[in-house]
Structure 1
């Protein structure tokens, strides 16, 4: 061993120790490598920084932005809602559907981002069904890791191995090169988790989040039964009239909360301002404070159609229509005035649908109730208007916002455009019309053009820590090749398992990669092991693809410790897991992945 190789190995060992102890954080370790490694003279400072110009690094950043577009437009959340509705009370069905959905979504966006999205969804489902969250969080993390075996862009290690192939002059992997291995692995993992979930039990049940929600206020203010969706039929006397001219609150005891209009690309909720004129086909979302039998008379007189509702007091409109509880403070201009006199909706774009004086809700018609100091009002309207109230301390004090406010999507109406951008990117990557990076950048531009993301959210979505980690570890690959370290490692593998044939060599590469991944990021592991695997292939005179694929699959099989991947780390708290839980559940699954790899890789990618 020469002195240069000794220095590189010493620095690599120090980096691994810092990764294990977690100090400094991973990107800090990568920056130390970028600074220290050029001091040896083995690589230049320019070479240590070339990773920032690597197309795969830019591609990973672009995929983070695309994933953010899917989050902001609610594509991922709608999948979660569908999951809850479809699985019902069956834990087994929940696990199967959860793993399939997470693996599918994770195949086109960051697995870490997928887990971050689904943790609150799973917690809500667990609280609603009485299921222990520990029975669902482990399947969530496992499915997210397996999603890395689905497509080329599913996880950073795939792109690292793909980039190493291209640097060696080989053609990289295709978009679906991994799918043939990922689908069988997902099926086996689902079956395994249906059996292994019995070992994921703890005494404490799922926590119910604190704070009120829509259903709380629906009960407190007796709102149930007051909501109606009334559609304006052709020939209605309302057509062409403005809401100010109709004055339905004073004349009919009817408060219009929003107007639903059908557009070419879906529905649009229009704010019910006084100058807004009604058209045939408009659907009025109303709060009716009066005898319910009289609604039928209103429907007949105004030429309306009473449409069915799918959620209690418009909870199915929670993305567009918000609620808040506010109090009338001392000095407020509202004191002594009725809601009609104060023109509350005109000034705030919100409707008052409930008033409490002390602990008791006022049961009279609210329009002409004079407001007093300390009255509590329940307001409803667009979330933007609810948010504006938080800065209006002179007139109203916001007492509480519902839990639903934390789940409001910035651009829910942009979901079709986000899906179109994603589909176009996949088509371009699969067909090879343009390079993968170009396809991803086009999708990012489409996301921005159609309002799925903005510059602020795009920059915030990029996981800079992961990018710096990859860039900082890439110089090790160059240094190990230049000092002969890769050749030594490849020869060691050949000396250990070469006589037993290439299948055992694949198994050895998998075990070493997974072993490093016990304590080191799977991305860093792929950076270190990809050149070694290709060196082994070169020494054997074999195709590089089965060996490169083995590294990628082993890097995604990071099931065995909570520090193997950020995906595992995220679920430790919500699932209340211990270190041993990952060892107990993850080790058998890693052995299953090893068998899948050794059996299937040589069949699909011959030596």
Structure 2
């Protein structure tokens, strides 16, 4: 058997295993790393060369960059902004959702972006009474299109860029993909505004809503109407004094949940303590349970100005503080003590704002209510304090946390640093002052230095399966080139196309790449098709750049089936989609992407 036949047999075996999903893709890649040197076509150094490829290091660094954006809350803040701006308008929501997702996905993993936005979109759909299926497909389409925005947006772009470099050519610039991605995004938005009516005919599975939300706690414990925001006037008697000097909880019956104070980077949320001193301009977040309490009279007495409220029960500050339901165990020190005597805040940084007996919440002020064993109590405070409850000496059991805890960014106070570092990193990549991989690694080091991410989180963020998949498929490119397989495919395409126009060549290359992407990952598709594109360009004696760009764009056009990309797979459950939904929506838009590619590529990248 010839060397080429052996390599092709291994390649077909890999494709079949990819299509079947057994074993997992990275395991298949490892098998091929071991098998290819045994053929004698390539040596061990060639098989492992991918581990030394700068683009592999760059992809790994970009996973860390994405995690830093999540941990500092930048991605979630954009999601919150989306909720505020979109309101209940479904059309506006789709437009803003797709723009935001495509924008974020330009600098981090599209799979990671979708994972972040699925719970956000589910909450939006629930609050706006929109079927989740009408929003999940726009989410996945926008995430895929984000791969067409920048060089570092998706692994296939870097694979094609690396193939150009390995052939002694200049690679693509950082924004080389943007002129193609932006028109496609605009068309995708218009397309989804029409196509949404064919989606969401059945509700999403109920299990995604089983966990309570902040809203559920507000309803169960009767918190609605109890939240207040007051600004401290310069002449207030509170200014310059500690909270203990006034004992507002004991004397007035109000709980100060937190204090907002202006800083150079916006407003910081402070934990109120007995020794905390109030400054003019501070904003006090207050819970007042007593229905007889006249808050206007309290404001006049202490020199406070009432401010407008945000989301339900301080939900707009859910990155810093949250609600949780605790259970008082029989051996807890709280048993037999009143809420005031228990001094829960001093011990845990949490404030008890609700207690249930049976199925009903206790009405009236809680100051003199005595804790009983088995009482469910609702507390508010920093998320970090909530997660520490099970290890605390108070013997409290963490009964329930809302779904919003999953969106909390542990380094949200570092968001300004993260935004600045991201801008510097992108600027370095776009300017070409240093190689892209060096710019990304510098960004990672700066994220670590400024506390946006720690080493453990950085290592956990790297999607090693993706890196192994790319490394495992790269030897096929080398093996096919050495055995003449790439030239055979190029000659075959040349024979089929004959004297066809350049646009027909691009259309054929796009279609072949997109069809191959139905069976294997878009990254593996790019690894196989990039050298074919360059060989075809050499045979046609034309510039390799339009053909290489076509392969990259086609690799990201994985709209047609739920298994074409992990992005699609993620939204199947929350959107309650069928296989045919992707075919119905994805095939027409793939044709749109094909048309845009063959129209724009020859204009912007002449042959």
Q: With the length of structure 2 as denominator, give the TM-score of the two structures.
A: 0.95
1:331-410 matched pairs, under 5 angstroms: 331-392=331-392, 395-410=395-410
CA contact (8 A) 2:143 2:567 kept: yes
CA pair 451-544 structure 1, distance change in 2 beyond 3 A? same
For the Cα contact (< 8 Å) 1:133–1:206, is it kept in 2? no
The 1:158–1:258 alpha-carbon spacing in structure 2 relative to 1, beyond 3 Å, is same
Moved more, 284-293 or 519-528: 284-293
2:594 matched residue in structure 1: 594
Report the more deviating stretch, 240-249 or 170-179.
240-249
Equivalent residue for 1:196? Answer: 195
Provide the C-alpha distance between the structure 2 equivalents of 1:105 and 1:291, rounded to a whole number of angstroms: 45
1:471–1:541 Cα change, 3 Å: same
Aligned to 1:537: 537
User: Any idea what SS the aligned residue of 1:324 has?
Assistant: strand
Q: Which residue of 2 aligns with 1:161?
A: 160
**Where in structure 2 are the equivalents of 1:204-283 lying within 5 Å?**
204=203, 207=206, 209-283=209-283
Q: Secondary structure at the match of 1:152?
A: coil
Q: Deviations over 1:143-196 (max 9, x none)?
A: 111111111111111100000000101100001111111112222222222232
**3-state DSSP class of the match of 1:239?**
coil
**For residues 456-495 of structure 1, what are the structure 2 equivalents within 5 Å?**
456-495=456-495
Cα distance in 2 between the residues matched to 1:329 and 1:201? 44
- Contact residue 126 and residue 206 of structure 1 kept, 8 A: no
Q: 1:201, CA displacement in angstroms?
A: 4.2
**Runs of 4 or more off by more than 6 Å in structure 1?**
none
Q: Which residue of 2 aligns with 1:97?
A: 96
Q: Identify unmatched segments of 5+ residues in structure 2.
A: none
Mapping 1:293-304, distance limit 5 Å: 294-304=294-304
Distance 2:292 2:423 in 1: 48
Contact 2:338 2:370 in 1 (8 A): yes
> Residue 32 of structure 1 aligns with which residue?
31
How many residue pairs match? The answer is: 606
Which residue in 2 is equivalent to 1:453? 453
* 1: CA distance, partners of 2:85 / 2:184: 24
Structure 1 unpaired stretches of 5+: none
Alpha-carbon distance, 1:41 to partner: 1.3
Note if contact 1:131-1:205 (Cα within 8 Å) is conserved in structure 2: no
Alpha-carbon separation, structure 1, partners of 2:87 and 2:259: 32
Counterpart of 1:314 in structure 2 is: 314
CA RMSD of aligned residues (A): 1.9
Residue 22 of structure 1 and its aligned partner are, at CA, apart by: 0.7
Specify the alignment match of 1:509 in structure 2.
509
Distance in 2 between residues matched to 1:263 and 1:105, nearest whole Å: 27
Alignment deviations for residues 118-138 of structure 1 (CA, whole Å, 9 cap, x no partner): 111222222222222222222
Q: Deviations over 1:411-461 (max 9, x none)?
A: 222222221111111111111111111111111122222222221221111
For residue 574 of structure 2, what is the aligned residue in structure 1? Answer: 574
**Whole-Å Cα distance in 1 between the matches of residues 275 and 492 of structure 2?**
80
Residue 345 of structure 1: CA displacement? 1.7
Output the CA distance in 2 between the equivalents of 1:366 and 1:194.
50
Q: Distance in 1 between matches of 2:587 and 2:527?
A: 23
CA distance in 2, matches of 1:98, 1:394: 44
Q: Which range is displaced more, 554-563 or 239-248?
A: 239-248
Q: CA deviation at 1:25?
A: 0.6
Pair 1:529–1:428, CA change in 2 (3 A): same
SS of residue in 2 equivalent to 1:390 = helix
| Paired residues of 1:56 and 1:437 also in contact (CA < 8 A) | yes
**Does the 8 Å contact 1:66/1:443 carry over to 2?**
yes
Q: Residues 581 and 311 of structure 1: is their aligned pair in 2 closer, same or farther, counting only changes over 3 Å?
A: closer
Answering whether residue 440 of structure 2 is matched by residue 444 of structure 1, we say no
Question: Within 2, Cα distance between the matches of 1:198 and 1:254?
Answer: 49
Residue 48 of structure 1, CA deviation: 0.9
Partners of 1:90 and 1:255 in 2: how far apart?
36
- Contact persistence 1:509–1:550 (CA under 8 A): yes
SS at match of 1:368: coil
SS of residue paired to 2:151: coil
Cα separation, 2, equivalents of 1:312 and 1:511? 50
Deviates further, 564-573 or 296-305: 296-305
Question: How many Å separate the matches in 1 of 2:124 and 2:291?
Answer: 37
Question: Please, which moves more after superposition, 410-419 or 514-523?
Answer: 410-419
Matched position secondary structure for 1:241: coil
**What SS does structure 1 have at the residue aligned with 2:48?**
helix
Instruction: Determine whether 1:560 maps to 2:560.
Output: yes
Paired residue for 1:305? 305
- Deviation (angstroms), 1:293: 5.6
Measure how far apart 1:40 and its partner are. 1.2
User: 1:161 touches 1:526 (CA, 8 Å); kept in 2?
Assistant: yes
- Whole-angstrom distance in 2 between the partners of 1:393 and 1:358: 26
Instruction: Name the residue aligned to 1:144.
Output: 143
In structure 1, what is the equivalent of residue 185 of structure 2? 186
8 A Cα contact 1:123 1:206, kept in partner:
no
Find out whether 1:51 has 2:50 as its counterpart.
yes
Cα distance in 1 for residues equivalent to 2:250 and 2:67: 45
Residues 489-546 of structure 1, C-alpha deviations (whole Å, 9 max, x = no match): 1111111103223222222211111111110111101101111110111122211101
**SS of corresponding position for 1:109:** coil
- Please give the secondary structure, in 1, of the residue aligned with 2:143: helix
Once the 2 structures are TM-superposed, how far is the Cα of residue 47 of structure 1 from its aligned partner?
Answer: 1.2
Q: CA deviation at 1:82?
A: 2.5
Contact 2:205 2:576 in 1 (8 A): no
3-state secondary structure, aligned to 1:499: coil
What is residue 119 of structure 1 aligned with on the other side? 118
Q: Deviation digits for residues 189-226 of structure 1, max 9, x if unmatched?
A: 22222232333243335746123332333333333333
Cα 1:170–1:247 change in 2 (3 A) is same
Native 8 Å contact 1:212 1:401 kept in 2: yes
Q: Secondary structure at the match of 1:10?
A: helix
| Change in CA separation of 1:433 and 1:243 when aligned onto 2, cut-off 3 Å | same
